[in-house]
Chains A and B, each alone.
Chain A
Amino acid sequence: MSEALKVPTMAEFMAQGKQPEVLFWVGCAGSFDDRAKKITKAFVKILNKANIDFAVLGTEESCTGDPAKRAGNEFLFQMQAVTNIEVLNAYEIKKIVTTCPHCFNTLKNEYPSLGGNYKVMHHTQFLESLIEEGRLIIEGGKFKGKRITFHDPCFLGRANDVYEAPRELIQKLDAELVEMKNCKRNGLCCGAGGAQMFKEPEKGDKDINVERTEQAIETNPQIIATGCPFCNTMMTDGVKAKDKKNTVKVMDIAELIANAQDL
């Protein structure tokens, strides 16, 4: 399958004197984390299927600086931001889509005052817009009637008030969307944000991802859907910890859609 992926870079577009419709910002997890790479590929498959004129930065992409900023290292964050903005502006990027809500939040909210102004979309918003424009058609297929619960990534939900796009996509798969007791504005964090992903948690009586996974399992789902590579890791670990690996899958919305189409 992978040989079929078309992933042009901005440099290639530039060489041909062309500009893509949208830049796909892959993010560090999407580039390096084995689990997240599957999400990246699933999203690219959808983009290829829908014939979207997109490009990636490839080796010219670098961390947005989100974990550094939230750890308190404003200096490192701004160094990353200013460097990235130089690259993005040099390519005259107007529109960015990303599969990572952390990149999404940082690019959308924290880059403008440093000189980086782009229309930034989370991939669920982008896919939703493709469907609305009739450029992408999705059918339920194998997810018809499946119980799916959606875990709101904090940096998509509370941070940016995006609650509906991922849910609408799940519903378009004819799946049965079930909500956890804490959802949308009240969604519980998976435990990865604020640079927690990169350190052991402080002493407590439970891990946050286990708490959140328990809430998800209460809804008796077949699939826990997410829209964030870090949430995905945390929930996957949580499902393992609860010994539910064989009955509950953790999948990104992009994977759901790609799978439904047998891409």
Chain B
Amino acid sequence: MDYIPNILFAIVLIIGIGYFIKNIRKLIRNIKLGQDIDVSDNKSQRWKNMAMIALGQSEMVRRPIAGILHVIVYVGFIVINIEVLEIIIDGLFGTHRIFSGIGSLYGVLIGTFEILALLVLVAVIVFWTRRNIIKLARFWKSEMTRWPKSDANYILYFEMVLMSLFLIMNATDIPFQEIATGNIISQYVSPWFAGLTENSIHIIERTAWWSHILIIFVFLNYLYFSKHLHILLAFPNTYYGSLKPKGELNNLEAVTKEVMLMMDPNVDPYATPTEGEDDEIPAKFGASDVQDLNWIQLLNAYTCTECGRCTSECPASQTGKKLSPRKIMMDTRDRLEEVGKNIDANKGEFKDDGKQLLDDYITREELWACTSCNACVEACPVSINPLSIILDMRRYLVMEQSAAPTELNTMMSNIENNGAPWPYNQMDRLNWKNE
């Protein structure tokens, strides 16, 4: 009978981690639906970027208030996880505070956790206030209704509850309070329970302990369904972030092939396709759906935590246009999830559902409002690039559908005919010299 809690704990642990792994595999499969892109270059710079941007939070602190609060929650999250390790060992083997054997260092450790837990609790309450009471504009844009709005608050509630339970768990641990080392914060909580019998205090302690670890497992599995995935994906995402100048847009290789062929005077215009060439499906120019994007763009979409720094910096969004770079990322993820579910429901095959990212999620009006100024790219604290998705979708509109706005068609035919976006003769290009 004594082993029942241990067995229960092991079952919970296996279910919690098992379901999480199942979803992570689904996540990886979905990301791999994207086109391949070679990012094997410059490994040392990539590791450096990851260390600076994800581990070091260098871009977060560009907005000091949100940045510092975030650093607190982030450090708290990482450090307090050492305690989770102890909880798991205790749970599996029926021990109690197994790490306390390390002596006075244990007090230092738990003391640190307690201080961090309190700081995290305060930071999360400030976050909640900024979102729900102060109502910072970037949290109240049109894409932040329904699930995205609730999701953001649920995450904050999870963290509030977890931190409170951790402190209560320590406060009601009578032997731990009696040793009185490391109970820096919980010593002020424990008097709240002073009137209760030792037995009831013990029951509260056990309840807090179990709730704490159960909620951690729930939270872990909540990640996949939430914008909170960034706590994991920020690391690969910053590793794979672009190393090129922000102004540099990729040159489409498929187009280069065509252009070189057109420019080559030695090409036989009557050449018949060689054997097998007929079966090749010509590459689609640009993107109309998530499978046309590359896998880094899809990873970007899963990494986005909807903070809205991009949208708040976007000139189009600031002046009331429909474009919101954050919505571009959210739409990409939503569509990718839909495609993933479609594949799950159809035994691993995607069945055409008559929908696509273009028009069903992202409208043309949004795409054409972008000034390609890179403000969104610069603003993102985890190296997400909404501009590259906008550009790929414009490419599809222009090259596959000839669906550019009329004025842009005029501009492009001017370039084609006169070598300038305006209807001036190329032969007049040097006239300014004598004017």
A interface residue numbers (CB < 8 A to B): 2-3, 5, 7, 9, 26, 28, 30-33, 37, 40-41, 56, 58-59, 61-63, 65, 67-76, 78-83, 86, 105, 108-110, 113-114, 154-155, 158-161, 185-186, 188-189, 191-208, 211-212
Contacts and interface: CB of A to CB of B under 8 A. Distances in A.
Contacts of A202: 316, 321-323, 365, 368-369
B319 A205 contact: yes
A257 B434 CA distance: 21
B345 interface: no
Contacts of B434: 2-3
Contacts of A76: 412, 415-416
Contacts of A31: 420, 424, 428-432
B249 A70 contact: yes
8 closest Cβ pairs, A-B complex: A159-B247, A72-B394, A194-B372, A62-B419, A205-B320, A189-B373, A109-B248, A204-B320
B378 interface: yes
A7 B256 contact: no
Contacts of B404: 71-73
Interface stretch (B73-81, B124-132, B257-265): B257-265
Contacts of B27: none
Interface of B: 244-249, 251-252, 255-256, 258-260, 262-263, 285-286, 313, 315-316, 318-323, 365, 368-375, 377-378, 391, 393-399, 404-405, 407-408, 410-412, 415-416, 419-422, 424, 426-435
Contact of B320 (A32, A161, A206): A206
Given A71-B408, A202-B323, A63 B430 contact: no
Contacts of A161: 245
B139 to A, nearest CB: 20
A69 B419 CA distance: 14
Contacts of A70: 249, 372, 391, 394
B260 to A, nearest CB: 7
Nearest to B420: A28
Contact of A191 (B323, B371, B393, B397): B371
Given A75-B255, A114-B256, A158-B373, A198 B432 contact: no
A193 B372 contact: yes
A18 to B, nearest CB: 19
B321 A203 contact: yes
A75 B377 CA distance: 25
Given A109-B248, A202-B321, 19 more contacts: A2-B434, A7-B433, A31-B420, A59-B428, A71-B404, A74-B251, A75-B259, A75-B285, A75-B399, A76-B412, A81-B251, A82-B260, A105-B248, A110-B249, A191-B371, A194-B370, A195-B372, A204-B369, A205-B319
A248 B245 CA distance: 33
Contact of A154 (B285, B369, B371, B415): B371
Given A192-B371, A201-B369, A58 B429 contact: yes
Contacts of B431: 31
B319 A211 contact: yes
A192 B177 CA distance: 65
B36 to A, nearest CB: 18
B431 to A, nearest CB: 8
Contacts of A5: 433
Most-contacted residue by chain A among B258, B259, B369 (CB, 10 A): B259
Contacts of A160: 245-247
A212 B415 CA distance: 29
Nearest to B392: A72
12 contacts: A7-B430, A41-B432, A69-B249, A70-B391, A72-B391, A72-B395, A110-B251, A159-B374, A204-B320, A208-B318, A208-B371, A211-B319
Contacts of A37: 432, 435
Contacts of B321: 201-204
Contacts of B371: 154, 189, 191-194, 196, 208
Nearest to B317: A204
A155 to B, nearest CB: 5
Given A159-B247, A204-B320, A211-B319, A74 B395 contact: yes
A109 B247 contact: yes
B112 to A, nearest CB: 35
A65 B412 CA distance: 9
A193 B247 CA distance: 11
Nearest to A40: B432
B378 A158 contact: yes
B407 A32 contact: no
Contact of B398 (A72, A108, A205): A72
A159 B246 contact: yes
A78 to B, nearest CB: 4
B421 A28 contact: yes
A158 B246 contact: yes
Given A2-B434, A208-B371, A105 B422 contact: no
Contacts of B411: 67-68, 71, 195, 198-199
Nearest to B367: A72
A191 B435 contact: no
A208 B433 CA distance: 33
A197 B391 CA distance: 17
A186 B431 CA distance: 38
Contact of A82 (B259, B316, B377, B397): B259
Nearest to A31: B429
A28 B262 CA distance: 25
A67 B247 contact: no
Contact of A56 (B408, B422, B430, B435): B430
A80 B220 CA distance: 52
A74 B285 contact: yes
A56 to B, nearest CB: 7
